[in-house]
Amino acid sequence: MLALAAHAQPATAASAAATPGIDQRETNQFARIQQGVASGQLTRRETRRLEREQAAIARTEDRAKADGVVTRSERRRLHTMQDAASRDIYRQKHDRQQRRAPGANPNGAPGGS
């Protein structure tokens, strides 16, 4: 019986630090960024900025998990950061700035020079 109780404790601590919803959202946002790159909707600068924003969220999540418990306020902060990132992804993908094709003339004129 005591051994069973000992095994229950780590499971509780692990579940308190588990963030499956946050992790899934992180995956979805990364996919949205990659889709924007593939379609040309995101410029290199926009892509770098969005990826830095995702890295900041991941660092915040790592810090929240460091003590084994992600508190309600830490989860709220992570959700707020992800909400902002989601809005930023949408805005950058729909701002009509497009990545130029390799070798394209920056003036939009046909031809090489």
* Whether 76 contacts 60, CB under 8 Å: no
Domain that holds residue 58: 36-97
Q: Is the pLDDT of residue 90 over 50?
A: yes
Q: What percent of the chain has pLDDT over 70?
A: 75
List the Cα angle 112/45/59 in 5-degree steps.
Answer: 155
Mean pLDDT of the chain: 85
pLDDT at 79: 98
Number of compact structural domains in the chain: 1
Closest among 76, 45, 49 to 60, alpha carbons compared: 76
Q: Is the pLDDT of residue 60 over 70?
A: yes
Q: Is residue 44 part of a domain?
A: yes
pLDDT at 12: 53
Q: Is residue 56 part of a domain?
A: yes
pLDDT-derived band at 7 (thresholds 50, 70, 90) equals very low
Closest among 57, 56, 19, 49 to 33, alpha carbons compared: 49
Q: Is residue 51 part of a domain?
A: yes
Q: Is residue 48 part of a domain?
A: yes
Q: By mean pLDDT, which of 1-5, 51-55, 107-111 is the weakest?
A: 1-5
